[in-house]
Amino acid sequence: MYKKVRGQKQNTDSRDSLSDIQSSSDHRQSKFSVPQISPYITSTIATPYTTLKMRGLSVAANLTVLATLACTTAAQCTYDKQSAPFRLKISSDNERINGSVLVSSHAGPPFRNLLPDVWYKEEYPGNVISNGSTTFYYNTSSTTEDYYGCTGKLFWKQPGWDSILAFRESFVNNTFVTFLAPGEAGTGVEFDQDEKLHLKAFTDRSGGMQTESFYNFHICSTVFGSYRYPDSLAWVISGEPDGVNCRAVNVTREWV
């Protein structure tokens, strides 16, 4: 079995108007269970990891400040630094998918799903999976100001444009389908010191502001548009997954 990952917990002093939350260097390999506190996930702009002290402002004024900060963040996050290529490998207690690598698969133009290569090998025996469909990149911003909170994004290259990892939110269950889409949106993600993909979020478990890392990836049976896949990468917000046939996984970067 895999041990539970505990992300860094960092107290945020309310006297600081803006504070950047840095990645933890203390990560352990994850046990396949989902914490009850979930991160805020967005498939639009990258939201900065900041705490704002806005005493004496009305609700409308607070919202205006937050909207302005979000727009500033989007404008400053250029994502102009691209990593070397890598693959994304799955580790799981499920023997069938353990050791698989994720493949970018057609899900209706211009979107792509992420599927374990074992599905292809079973569905299309003898077919060769191209290197391009299993090769990804991590883009970060050259912005130097810490408080912009430009969390990196996962990119996949295809002719004509790059596509970015995002989460398709659901109003009926706690399992979000991941997908790749062109444009400048997408979800900010990080890799820890063991190269494991995760999301970082504020929590309030002990009454004080903290940051924790979450590793809630699963392989589930999913539907995206008119495409149904028995094995697709998904994110479970909290608790036991509502998705069909979900198996908890870690997703690890392997350089190529």
- 165 in helix, strand or coil? strand
Note the pLDDT of residue 171. Answer: 79
Mean pLDDT of 89-99: 97
State pLDDT tens for residues 208-223: 788 889 999 999 998 8
Q: Spell out the CATH class of 59-255.
A: mainly beta
State pLDDT tens for residues 167-207: 888 777 898 989 998 877 788 899 999 999 999 888 887 77
Sequence-ordered list of residues with C-beta below 8 angstroms from that of 216, at least 6 positions apart, any chain: 34, 35, 38, 199, 235, 236, 237, 238
pTM above 0.85, yes or no: no
- What's the rounded Cα separation, in Å, for the pair 177 and 220? 9
pLDDT level of residue 125 (50, 70, 90 thresholds): confident
- Over 70: is that where the pLDDT of 166 sits? yes
CB 234 within 8 A of CB 244: no
State pLDDT tens for residues 32-62: 333 333 333 333 333 333 333 333 334 343 3
Cis upstream peptide for 110 (omega within 30°): yes
- Over 50: is that where the pLDDT of 253 sits? yes
Neighbours of 225 (CB within 10 A): 12
- Over 90: is that where the pLDDT of 17 sits? no
Among 70-84, 101-115, 178-192, 236-250, the range scoring the smallest mean pLDDT is 70-84
Most confident residue range from 14-18, 133-137, 180-184? 133-137
Domain ranges of the chain: 59-255
